[in-house]
Amino acid sequence: MCGIAGWVGNDKKSGALTDKVRVINKILDDQAYRGPDARGIWTDDSNKAVFGHNRLSIVELSEAGSQPMASNDGRWVISYNGELYNYKDLRERLKKKFGVSFRGNSDTEVFLYGFIYFGVDEFLRLADGMFAAAIFDKKNKQLFLVRDRVGEKPLFYFINSEGIFFASELKSIAKNVAESVQASASGLQLYTILRYIPAPLTILDGFYKLQPGHYICHESNSGVVRQIPYFSWD
């Protein structure tokens, strides 16, 4: 179990990057037990982005597995929580088909390069595992939030005029990104009827949980958010 958190701003109303670093650090403080072995912060002022990570070291114990992790060319950055069961097979396919050179032996690195070289839809079709991940494309100014097929790993997000915030835990993101928090009438109603709240809704108004088998693409230039299904039981 690891913890991820971050923010990507809109071009015009993003606020100071130092303020967002402080917010992301507070979120990481609140979910520190998810990853007691290390903490990482990545920032990009020109692209208005901050990624954070609470690390529980299981696969690749060295610094080669540290997160947030950037691609060799620096274009892509990932913060990832989960386990990719078939990462060894995908690693070999990436090496043989695309000539990818890996720095370490982590499934995080395989997840990142699988996303880059296979493309999001094809990679998620191939990926066998439980995961929640955030990947940022600096060139196209796109944030991708990805959740596994059955939703074993949690991922929450909140959108306001300054951009999009995300984190592994609802309580940690709600506590630190909103001036006031109110219960969701729809969420309460669903909980009363179903005894749980199905994604994308949560118990809090304005806070959302990424649906299992879906990914989100957030465009920094326009602020447009698209939620796209990649898996269905039908």
Residue pointed to by tokens 């990104």: 177
Tell me the C-alpha distance between 17 and 14, whole Å.
8
What span, in angstroms and rounded, lies between the C-alpha atoms of 50 and 188?
A: 32
* Options 1, 2, 74, 190, the catalytic residue: 2
Mark whether 217 is an active-site residue.
no
The two three-digit tokens of residue 146, written as one number: 């990805």
Positive or negative: CA dihedral 155, 151, 93, 218: negative
1, two tokens: 């179990």
223: phi > 0 → left, psi -120 to 50 → alpha, else beta; which?
Answer: left
Could you give the angle at which helices 107-118 and 87-98 cross, rounded to 10 degrees? 50
What DSSP assignment string belongs to 38-68? EEEEEEETTTTEEEEEEE---S--SGGG-SS
How far is the C-alpha of 229 from the C-alpha of 234, rounded, in Å?
A: 12
Distances in whole angstroms, Cα of residue 196 to Cα of each of 7, 119, 188 = 28, 34, 9
| Enzyme catalytic residues | 2
